[in-house]
Amino acid sequence: MLDFSLTEEQLQAAAMVREFGAKEIIPTIKEYDRQQTMNPIALPRMAELGILGINIPVRYGGQGFDYVTLGLVCEELERIDTTLRVVMSVHMGLNSMGVLQWGTEEQKQRFLAPQARGEKYAAFGLTEPGAGSDVAGLRSTARKDGDDYIINGEKMWISLATKAHHVLWFAKTDPHAQPAHAGLTAFMVETDMPGVTTGDIHGKLGVRAGSTGWVNCQDVRVPAANRIGEEGEGFKIAMSCLDNGRYTVASGATGLTRACLDASIRYAQERETFGRPIADYQLIQQKIAWMQQWYDVSRLLYLQVGWLKNQGIRNTREVSMAKWYATDHSFKAAHEAIQVHGAYGFSDEYDVERYLRNGRGAIIYEGTSEIHQLMQAAYAFGQREDKPLRCELPAYDEAFWQG
């Protein structure tokens, strides 16, 4: 039996985020976007409201909600502004859920718990100046030295780079391994360690009210206790983290499509030409219908992934499809929303021009649309099969999560 209903708790979590955005973020988001700086209350308030640990078990400092709730929250956050959902993608999807899946009990208490409580902010260090989609091409190294590792390298396009306390860092412990990705290992780098420097990137097309930057490690001594997983498991860990990050991106992009739809409906009912609201014209109605279709399909795709995560079922193919579809169509929705708004859509007086700029980035990060097309073709032809990992993301168990 299929059940598409949401629980009262899930709906309340989404409503809480929606209210937070309406009162505290939306009134000033245009100004922060123009200034290309992050609202200073965003991270502290998300921490106070429990958003930064929404689906982490209570025993590790979280709120104990399930994975579907995470998707609903990300949809509401990006409906407010993409910068808020990006926080959840890196802090929660790419880092905290990775520690939940791969970390030891000691690491969960040491890293995950303060992140879930919002006392520490987390980032994900995979992309480098010369390595993006080609993960095996990264050049960061980690050399064993007694009970420590000496890490050198630079990460680029890192969300929360200058805000994060913890960076889940991927480096080569065996530069001669074949295949090359077999030599990758994951570490938790603490940004107050000697040799760690960070900086912000300005001049971005979108997500301007967010924090994006670089992180550099110069002979950084990292204890072996900070290694996540075993040596050589870095690639598996990174790919599993990307599955979680892609879920937040897909659900967030669904919220962006909804924002475009809401803005377009509102404007079409208010704007008149030739004595009639433009909502009366069939070509405007067509655009609204497209956006509604894109929203409904995107939402169904990400909710399916949330259900699979709740069951403890690996969802690499499904989350790839959800991320690919939702991000491509949120950008299309923003384009159509600007068309509905006409010349006003070309001005930052209205939100839709920001939606277009923000939506463009999601087509690139967490796997480009081209990468996801190749993945889906490989699944369709039977050329790709997902094998069990040593550690799977745990299925949602209410007694454990809330106990």
Q: CA–CA separation, 381 vs 49, rounded Å?
A: 45
Q: Where are the alpha helices (DSSP H) in 213-281?
A: 234-270
φ, ψ of residue 217 in degrees (nearest 5): -115, 120
Write out the two tokens for 238: 């990174």
CB 384 within 8 A of CB 375: yes
**DSSP assignment string, 34-59:** HHT---TTHHHHHHHTTGGGTTS-GG
CB 206 within 8 A of CB 360: yes
* Cα radius of gyration (the chain): 21
What are the residue numbers of the active site? Answer: 366
Residues found in the chain: 403
From residue 356, alpha-carbon distances to 30, 339, 362 in Å are 14, 11, 11
User: In a 10 Å sphere around its CB, with 0-12 CB exposed, 13-18 middle and 19+ buried, how is residue 339 labelled?
Assistant: middle
Strand partners, 171: 185
φ, ψ of residue 127 in degrees (nearest 5): -65, 140
**DSSP assignment string, 178-190:** SSGGGGEEEEEEE
Q: Look up residue 325 and give its amino acid.
A: Y
